[in-house]
Structure 1
Amino acid sequence: MKEILDLIRKEITDAFVACGYDEKYGRVSLSNRSDLCEYQCNGAMAAAKEYKKAPIAIATEVSEKLQDNPMFESVIACPPGFLNLILAPGYVTDYVNAMAEDDRKGVDKVAEPKTVIVDYGGPNVAKPLHVGHLRSAVIGESVKRIGKFMGDNMIGDVHLGDWGLQMGLIITELRLRQPDLCYFDPDYTGEYPSEPPFTISELEEIYPTASAKSKEDAAYKEEAMTATFELQQGNRGYQALLKHILDVSVSDLKKNYENLNVSFELWKGESDAQPYIPDMVEKMKKDGYAYVSDGALVVDVKEDTDTKEIPPCMILKSDGASLYDTTDLATLIWRMEDYHPASVIYLADKRQELHFVQVFRCARKTGIVPDTTELKFIGFGTMNGKDGKPFKTREGGVMRLETLVSEINEKMYEKIMDNKTMEEDEARKTAQIVALSAIKYGDLSNQASKDYIFDIDRFTSFEGNTGPYILYTIVRMKSILHKYEESGKKVADAKILTAASESEKSLMLELAKFNSAMRGAYEENAPHRICAYIYDLANAFNHFYHETKIMTEEDEKKQAGYIRLLELTKEVLEICIDLLGFSAPERM
């Protein structure tokens, strides 16, 4: 379906042209004075200079041309030259009825679907997920779902950190504790054990211990760096240990991501890029892009138009070890070879912007990606506590993500039990659903690039711009629909009737903005656009609900029309929250 704004714009543009004015002046926007009109056109103000006429004269001409147009209830020219537009209730009703009959509720898929890889994980293996991983996972999952809904082939990659110094640290500490393991015997030629020599709990203790030692003991750190280098050079025992680390870590990571309703199509890591590095390095040297600077291999990526210094992209350190730059470039090679994506989107802290500028420029300069492939960095802001500083535990440490989820689950459980409407088991399950909406909506309702305050009390509130408020609105609709069905009535063939009140028309107008909201969220990779839309839609419904006696309406046709409108609103809201990555319970 065409967006309602485009349909309005066409009528206004045709009227400008019919009056002898250029079509460019027929632009229409939502009214910034909803007390005066629903849509507005300011084209007459801009046309006045070109046509040497008073803007009010132009606006009056155009308004007169539209007086008999069935789309509008009124088109009024207002000084100094605005066109104030109010849609005819019947026209809006026809539009939302067409939405109700469409499986996608009026949202067309993109005309030319493309393959998009979204890199939105980035956790390091052998370490638990913490709150710093939340934004990447939540925003990336929603961006992926929005793209898939619009018809693109979306591929999410977790892109594990499994190849840097942390691997050398784990190997070094493990060798210190269990030196007799066969992985450390250079003469061992047999098969390595299938069972790992550690549990996830032990692994999560080994890494921070090793990291702390390396900061105090230079010899220990040197040993870890050597282990890292040997791993990267193909040490057989270390490669087997890496496989164990990955198996144990990934199993735990999957469980934690599932609790967030986040999934990945690919569970690749930096280690998967290693086979591509030698040939990549040689090609960069051969083509004259890479050169040695202070012992390191680098590629210049600065451009004449730069207003600030952009350092060279470092390909190899002086000891021959690879870096994030190296693995990100090599990862792009296999992504291009295996998937030929039209776009690759990266989610990371906005403070990493320089890294991505260097990698993107190097990838283009050296021919790793063609000019036709979009490389996009979505840099997100910091999740802060009420003190405005990065979110911490009460003791001041970095909070584990599962701890945060558990705390919010518990808070929602207490609220639900206070209502005394559910048994404990149902309350626990419902609390998990509602808590997830609080976490995700609390994050996604903010523009990704901005820092925000993670306020548990506000995010878990059933009032205001929160996930639980959206879910409560949906649950209210489900309750009404259940009551309607229990009364023996069916709404299958019912039509939405022409609005009989301002609140009913306002709800229809909000519904009519659905495809526009989806297009904006898709084109801008902006889940916050969906949050803003559903908050307005939920408010419009609740206003309509409080003003309308739905279940006590005696006119059955009128009541069925109300129910059909309610059903459409619920379906649109459910599509939207699924794209945000959460769902609604049956009751709250």
Structure 2
Amino acid sequence: MEKLLDRITAAVSEAFVNCGYEAEYGKVTISNRPDLCEYQCNGAMAGAKKYHCAPIQIANKVAESLKEQELFSEVNAVNPGFLNLKLAPAYVQEYLQGMADDERLGCEKTANPKTIVIDYGGPNVAKPLHVGHLRSAIIGESVKRLGRFVGHKVTGDIHLGDWGLQMGLIITELKERKPDLVYFDESYTSEYPTEAPFTISELEEIYPAASARSKEDEAYKEQAMHATYLVQHGHRGYQAILQHILNVSVTDLKRNYANLNVEFDLWKGESDAQPYIPDMVEKLKKEGFAYESEGALVVDVKEDTDTKEVPPCMILKSDGASLYTTTDLATLVERRKLFDPDEVIYVVDKRQEMHFIQVFRCAKKTGLVKPETDLEFLGFGTMNGKDGKPFKTREGGVMRLEYLISDINEKMYQKIAENPEISEEEARETARKIGLSAIKYGDLSNQASKDYVFDIDRFTSFEGNTGPYILYTIVRIKSILNKYQAQGGDLAKGRIPVAENDSQKTLELTLARFNGALENAFDELAPHKVCAYIYELANAFNKFYHETKILGEENEEKRADLVAVLQLTKRVLETCIDVLGFEAPERM
């Protein structure tokens, strides 16, 4: 279905043309004064200079033309030249019935679907997920779902940190603790064990212990660096340990990400890019892009229009070792080979912006990606505590993600358990769903690039702009629909009615903006716009609910039609929260 705003703009643009003005002046926006009108057009103001007349003259002429349109119930020209518009309730009713009859609620899939890779998550193996991993996972998952909903082919890649010194540190520490393991026997030629020589708990203890020691013991650090070199150059035993680290870590990561309702299509890491590095480096040298600077291999990426210093992109360090820039460029080579994407979106901390400026420019300049491939940097701000500093535990440490989720779920459980009608099992599951909505909505309702305060008390509230409030609204609708059916009502019987009062029309107009809201949110990579939309919709519904007799309506046909509005509202809200990555329970 064509977006309602586009239909209105088309009608107003046609009126401008009929009155002798250019169509471009007919652009319509949602009114910023809902007390005066529902939509507005300011084109007469912009056209006054060109047509050498007062804006109100243009507005009056166009308003007179629009009064013949069945689309509008009211058209007013207001000084100094605004057009104030109100839609005919019957037209809105017809539009909403089209939404209700459509499986996709009137949201057409894009006519030009893209192949898109989203790089998000980015945890290091052998380390537990902590709150610093939250934003990338939540924002990336939502952008992925938004992209798929509007019709693009989207692949999500976690891009694991599984290469570098951390691997050498783990191997070195493991060798000291368990020197008799076959992985350290250079004469061993048989198959290595399939079971890892450590658990996830042991692994998570080994790495920080090794990291701490390497900062005080230079000889130990040298051993770790040599072990890193060996694993990166194919040492058979160390490669087997690396595979164990990956298997154990990924199993645990999948469990933790599942608790966030986050799924990745690819579990690739930096190590997967390694085979592409030699040929890539050779290409950059051969084609004259890469040159030596202080022993390192670099590519210039500065541009004449730069207002700040953009350093060269370093491809290899002076000792020949690769860096994050190397593996990110090689990963783009791999993605081009495997997916030939039209767009690659990176959901990472905004403090990494310069790194990605260098990577993107280098990839474009050297032809590692096609000229038409879009490389997007979606940088997010910091998740802070109430003190305005990065979120920490009460003891001042970095909080593990599973502990944060557990704390919020317990907080929600304590609230839900007050209802004696709900079993403990249902209460726990309901608490999990509400807790997830609190975390995800609390994050996504903020513009991604901005820092925000993670306020557990506010995010878990059932009032205000929160996930639990949105879920409470959906559950309220479910409860009414269940009662309606229990009274013998047929959910398939009703049709969307013509609005009879202001609260009903406001609700219907808000519902009609659904397809535009989701398309716009993806175009701008802005999940917070979905949150803003459903908060407005939830408020509109609750006002309608408090002012309208629904199940108490005596006229059976009218009651069925009101129920049809509830069903459409529920479908729209549930579609939106699915895009945001959470779901509603049956009751709260």
Matched, 1:339 2:339: yes
Aligned to 2:417: 417
More moved, 545-554 vs 214-223: 214-223
Structure-1 residue corresponding to 2:400: 400
Rounded to whole Å, the distance in 1 between the matches of 2:220 and 2:305 is: 45
Match of 2:8 in 1: 8
Q: Which amino acid aligns with 1:394?
A: R
Q: Deviations over 1:391-429 (max 9, x none)?
A: 000000000000000000000001111243412111011
1:84 paired residue number: 84
Q: What residue identity is the alignment partner of 2:540?
A: A
Q: 1:511 maps to what in 2? A: 511
**Does 2:578 correspond to 1:559?**
no
Q: Deviation string for 1:261-304 (max 9, x for gaps)?
A: 00001111111111111111111111111112112111111111
Q: For residue 154 of structure 1, what is the amino acid of its counterpart?
A: V
- Report what 1:502 is aligned to: 502
Counterparts of residues 153-552 of structure 1 (less than 5 Å): 153-552=153-552
Range that drifts further, 469-478 or 318-327: 318-327
- SS at 2:481's partner residue? helix
1:131 Cα shift?
0.3
Partner Cα separation in structure 2 for residue 126 and residue 323 of structure 1: 19
Q: C-alpha offsets along residues 534-558 of structure 1, whole Å, 9 cap, x if unaligned?
A: 0000000000000001011001111
State the match for 2:21 in structure 1.
21
Q: State how far apart, in whole Å, the 1-side matches of 2:188 and 2:302 are.
A: 48
Distance 2:186 2:358 in 1: 39
- 2:99 and 2:226 map into 1 onto residues whose CA distance is 63
2:582 is the alignment partner of 1:582: yes
Q: Distance in 1 between matches of 2:219 and 2:353?
A: 33
Hey, what's the Cα distance between the residues in 2 that align with 1:184 and 1:284?
Answer: 37
Structure 2 contact 347–377 (Cα < 8 Å) conserved: yes
Q: Count the aligned residue pairs.
A: 588
Query: C-alpha displacement at 1:47, in angstroms?
Result: 1.2
Q: Which residue of 2 aligns with 1:105?
A: 105
- In the other structure, the counterpart of 2:72 is 72
Give the residue type in structure 1 aligned to 2:81: G
The answer (yes or no) to whether the contact 2:475–2:586 under 8 Å persists in 1 is yes
Match of 1:114 in 2: 114
2: CA distance, partners of 1:243 / 1:309 = 40
2: distance between equivalents of 1:34 and 1:217? 68
Asked if structure 1 preserves the Cα contact closer than 8 Å seen for 2:494 and 2:562, the reply is no
The TM-score normalised by the length of structure 2 is 0.99
Shift of 1:315: 1.2
In 1, Cα distance between equivalents of 2:180 and 2:312: 44
The 3-state SS of whatever aligns with 2:398 is coil
Consecutive unaligned residues in structure 1, runs of 5 or more: none
- How many Å separate the matches in 2 of 1:160 and 1:52? 62
Deviation for aligned residue 1:368: 0.8
Q: Which moved more, 1:526-535 or 1:185-194?
A: 185-194
- What is the CA deviation profile of residues 176-233 of structure 1, one whole-angstrom value per residue up to 9, with x for unaligned ones? 1112222122232222111111111000000000111111122221221111111111
Structure 1 residue 502, shift from structure 2 partner: 0.5
- How far apart, CA to CA, are the structure 2 residues paired with 1:236 and 1:280? 25
The amino acid of 2:550's aligned partner reads I
CA root-mean-square deviation? 0.9
Take 1:325 and 1:80, find their aligned partners in 2: how far apart are those partners?
56
- 1:34 and 2:34 matched: yes
Q: In percent, how many aligned pairs have the same letter?
A: 69
1:102-141 C-alpha deviation (Å, 9 max, x unpaired): 1100100000111111110100000000000000000000
Amino acid at match of 1:457: D
Measure, in 2, the Cα distance between the counterparts of 1:185 and 1:468.
Answer: 56
Distance 1:311 1:74 in 2: 59
Contact 2:493/2:560 (<8 A) preserved: no
1:441-469 superposed Cα distances (whole Å, 9 cap, x missing partner):
00000000000000000000000000000
Q: Distance in 2 between matches of 1:476 and 1:127?
A: 41
Mapped to 2, the partners of 1:61 and 1:299 lie a distance apart of: 61
Unmatched runs of 5 consecutive residues or more in structure 2: none
- Tell me the distance in 2 between the aligned counterparts of 1:483 and 1:434: 23
Give, in whole Å, the separation in 1 of the partners of 2:101 and 2:220: 68
**8 A Cα contact 2:434 2:584, kept in partner:** yes
SS at match of 1:216: coil
For residues 434 and 462 of structure 1, the distance between their equivalents in structure 2, rounded to whole angstroms, comes to: 10
Greater shift after overlay, 307-316 or 537-546?
307-316
Corresponding residue SS for 2:215 = helix
Check whether the contact 2:448–2:526 (CA below 8 A) recurs between aligned residues. Answer: yes
Return the alpha-carbon distance in structure 2 between the equivalents of residues 330 and 25 of structure 1.
48
Distance (Å, rounded) in 1 between the aligned partners of 2:145 and 2:208? 35
Aligned-pair distance for 1:161?
Answer: 0.4
